[in-house]
Amino acid sequence: MSELPPIKVSELDVDRLEGLLDKKPYRDDKSFDGLRSELARAEVLPADAMPADVVRMNSTVTFEVEESGKQFHLTLCYPHEINGRTETLSIFAPIGSALLGLSVGQKIDWTLPDAHHRHVKIIQVENS
């Protein structure tokens, strides 16, 4: 895997996500180690110091999977917020974990559970 790009995550998002990861059923589940690693390497900033073009929880992100050229326009959510909405992406999905903290123009090489690599590029970030 190539070198990981620098990421920025708000204190609020780190606190909430680490709180979720400390609870059952997530606490002992190794499938969330990618998200744990991302949180551990992030530059943590106060929410009001977060740049506008950085993906955070509840951001709507346009990103491209370079292998397919396919673009997606999804809102990064906590699992309980999805409620069957198709335009959402769980932070607990491998690609959701990969997007957190990236800014427009950044790319990340992310390994999926099937061991395939995907190269993802951030096109646009909308924060409300």
Mean pLDDT, the chain, rounded, equals 91
CA 18, 4, 64: angle at the middle one, nearest 5? 95
Asked if pLDDT for residue 120 goes beyond 60, the answer is: yes
DSSP assignment of 86-109, as one string? TTEEETTSHHHHHHTT-BTT-EEE
Q: What is the pLDDT of residue 113?
A: 67
CATH class of the 8-127 domain in this structure:
alpha beta
Asked if pLDDT for residue 112 goes beyond 70, the answer is: no
42 vs 100: CA distance, rounded Å: 9
pLDDT in tens, 48-93: 999 999 999 999 999 998 889 999 999 999 988 988 888 999 999 8
Q: What is the pLDDT of residue 52?
A: 96
128 vs 117: CA distance, rounded Å: 31
3-class secondary structure for 36-75? HHHHHHCEEECHHHCCCCECCCCCEEEEEECCCCEEEEEE
What residues does each domain of the chain span?
8-127
Is the separation of the CB atoms in 28 and 48 below 8 Å? no
Is the backbone peptide bond immediately before 6 cis, with ω within 30 degrees of 0?
no
pLDDT in tens, 8-43: 999 999 999 999 999 988 898 988 888 999 999 999
